[in-house]
Amino acid sequence: MGAPEIISEHGCYGGVQRFYQHDSTETAGPMKFSVYFPPRARERKVPALYFLAGLTCTDENFPLKSHAQQVAAALGLMLVSPDTSPRVPRIPGDADSWDFGYSAGFYVDATQSPWAAHYRMYSYVTRELPALIEANLPALAASRGIFGHSMGGHGALVCALRNPDRYRSVSAFAPIAAPMQCPWGQKAFGNYLGADRESWRAYDATELVARKTFPGTILIDQGTEDKWLAEQLLPEKFVAAARGSGQSLNLRMQPGYDHGYYFIQTFIAEHLRHHAAQLQ
């Protein structure tokens, strides 16, 4: 496995913010990701916390908009944010809508043509990218956490619930909590995974948590003024399933907050501390 290519780097709170590119086996093309290295990563390996971004985002949104680096520097956390879909090669129709295809990989391994050849974001996030990071960067293999926003919150919950042996902590901002029951999820799953809804259950956090719990507490923040709350996000479905299975869950409904990065900025420090407590 070759080392990733550095595209750019920037000093940030005593550490370094870098942007990388590499050739991915899973997506059969180039992929980009960002990494924040806290100051202590110069001396030793540190826990790695993976952030999965939402619809229309890239690997740049989180490092540029979250204001996470200052707290990550103090806590000694490496922050890794992959892109949200393959960018090359382009697939006909991949940009026909903003909520499917380009910038909207939904963190699944597609099984339907033409998406199956490149849209393998679940395997990329859970297997290929951590292996690349741990082989080339000062990341502790035994200390991985994962979190995300919206589509990425869905991805983080699914990755953690399906791989409790690979992740020691998980949290989410405004996740698409029950994708099988909302228009965004139904559109993505129908196109990526096909008509057999049974195959969708492997990528639905509400379905997963009803059958299998994550060893630690799941932290979720959700703004009460989020315009997508009632139709697309459905946190109440996840809460009911978690209650039924006995999953430890801390869902915080935050009055006055919407779906954007101002919401994430406000609570990012608490999420980082949630992860640091379990990763260190």
Active centre residues (catalytic): 150, 226, 259
Backbone angles phi, psi at 240, to 5 degrees: -65, -45
E strand residue ranges, 105-240 = 139-149, 169-173, 218-223
E strand residue ranges, 53-185 = 78-82, 139-149, 169-173
Instruction: Please state whether beta strands 218-223 and 249-254 pair in parallel, antiparallel, or not at all (unpaired).
Output: parallel
Backbone angles phi, psi at 84, to 5 degrees: -100, -5
Joined tokens for residue 153: 């919150």
The residues that bridge with 145 in the sheet, in sequence order, are 49, 169
Instruction: Please state whether beta strands 15-24 and 46-52 pair in parallel, antiparallel, or not at all (unpaired).
Output: unpaired
Rg of the Cα trace of the chain? Answer: 17
Asked if residues 188 and 104 have their Cβ atoms less than 8 Å apart, the reply is: yes
